[in-house]
Structure 1
Amino acid sequence: MAFRQTLFALLSISSLTTAHPLLHSSNKRAIAVNDAMTAIMTNVIRTISPATSTCDNAPHPEECSTAQHAAPFILESFNDYDLMTVGEIAAVTSLMLFESGDFKYNQNYFSPSGGPNPGQGTRNMQQASFNSLYAAYLVSQGKLSQEALSAATSPDAVLALVQPDEFTFGSAAWFLATQCSAEIRAGLQSMEGGKQGAQTAWEMYLSECVGVTPVMDERREGWTKAYAAVTGRSA
C-alpha cells in the first residue's frame, strides 16, 4: 500500500475500537510515534515540499529542520491536541511548511519594517501574543516551568522558550485546538463534499482563525499538495 494511502487508512482506523499495530494499545485514537509512522509522515512532508529533504544552504542552519527530523515531533503534536482527521492534519502541515519556508525558519525575519518582528516565530510563525499564551499553556501542562516564563521579560525571551523542537512543531496544532472556533475545527474534520468542500473549510480556517486574507495562490498550492499527500486522493 502506498504511504499516502497508509496514512489515510491509519487515521481512519484511529477512530475505531479495534486494535491496530501502529496505534498505542492504551489509546485507540493515538498515533504511534514509531519508525514506521515516522517514515510515513516523513514521506508525506517530502511529497508536499521536496525542499525539506535537506538543510544544505539554509539561510539560518541552526533553525532548519528536515522532514525526517520534524516528523516525530509533528506526530506527537497530533496526539497532544487530538488531531486525528486528514482535514486537520493537511491544514496544519501545510500552514507550517508555508510559514516556516519549508522548515528553514523558526522565527520571523521579514517584518514590514525590514527586520525581525520581535517575538514572532515557531513553525507556524505565531505572533508574540500567541506565543505568550502558548507558553502559559505549556506551563499549565508541566512542560515549562513558571519560573522560566516569569523570567522571560521580553517577546524574544518568550519566543526562545517555545522554539525547541518539542514545542515549535506543536504550536500550529495548539493554535487550531485552542484558538479556533468549534465551527472551524468541525469544518476541517469533515470530509463531506470531497476536495472542494475540504478546500472551503481550509479557507475558512485561514481567513477566520489564522487571519489570512485573501488566500494567496501559493498557500492554496501548498494545501492542495498536502491534501493529496495525506489523503492519497487526486488534487
Structure 2
Amino acid sequence: MLGFFKLKRSWEWAAYGKHPVARDYFSTCDHIPILKAFSAWVEKGFQSLKPGQSKESWNSFRFWIKGPQKDLILGTLHDSSDSIGRKFPLLIIGTGPLKDWEKNWEMLTHICEKTWTRAEYLACKRYSDIKMLESDIRAMPTLQADGSDHTDKNHQADPPQGITKSPDLKPQLRELVQNGKALFQIAPLPSSDLQESADHLHLLLKKELGPYTPNAIFTTVLSGEENMIVFKRPLVTEDFSFLVEAAKLPGYGR
C-alpha cells in the first residue's frame, strides 16, 4: 500500500555542532554540500541570537525539508553543549531519495518516526570517544517505508481516537494558508499519543494546502503537546531565532 515510496540509492548522514563527548565543535558534513549548507545555517543562526537567547535551554526539533532534485532532507536539532558545558546546537541530518514524497508528505511523520527516534538517541547517548559517535551517525539507516497498515489511518478525515479533546484547527489552518504567510506556527493539538497528534496535524495541513508542498516543517513537544512550525519559503538566518523562541512558548501563529 506504500508502493509509491521506492528507493533508488542510499541516504547520506552527517552531524554538526557540539556533543558532551567532544571538547569543541565537530562536523562530518563537509563532504555533502547540501548538509554543509544547512550546518552553516545553524551556525549563523546561533551566532545571531541575542546574548540571553544563546544561554537559554530549548526543546529539540524533528524536521524535514525539501532538498535539491526532489531529495528529502531529514533530521533533528538539539540544544547541546561540549564536554566543558559551552552551549551550541547539535544537528543530526541526512539526505536522500524517497520517490513521490512531495505528493504524500503528510505520511512522513509515520515513515520517519524510527529514524528520528534513532537520531534523538544518538544525541543523548554517552560516548567515550567522538569517533564512536561519528561511526554511529554514518551508520544511520536508509529511510524505509514501513507500516502500510497506517495508510488508511493517515488519510482519515476525523481525529484519531487518542485525540480526545481536539480543538477545530481547520479555521486556523485555512486562515494561515489563505493569508499566504511564509512562516507560521500551528497551535498544539492535545493527544494521549504524540505520534497520532503529529500525523493528524500533517493531514489537516495537507488538506488545506492541497497540491502545495511546504518547504520545511519543524515539530517540537511543549508541555506534552505536539507543536508544528511550517515554512512555505526557504529558510533564512532569522528563522533560527524564531525556532528557539518557539521551542519555549505555547503555539501561536505569526
Which structure carries more helix by proportion?
1
Fold conserved (TM > 0.5)?
A: no
TM-score scaled by length of structure 1: 0.28
Identify, as 1 or 2, the structure richer in strand: 2
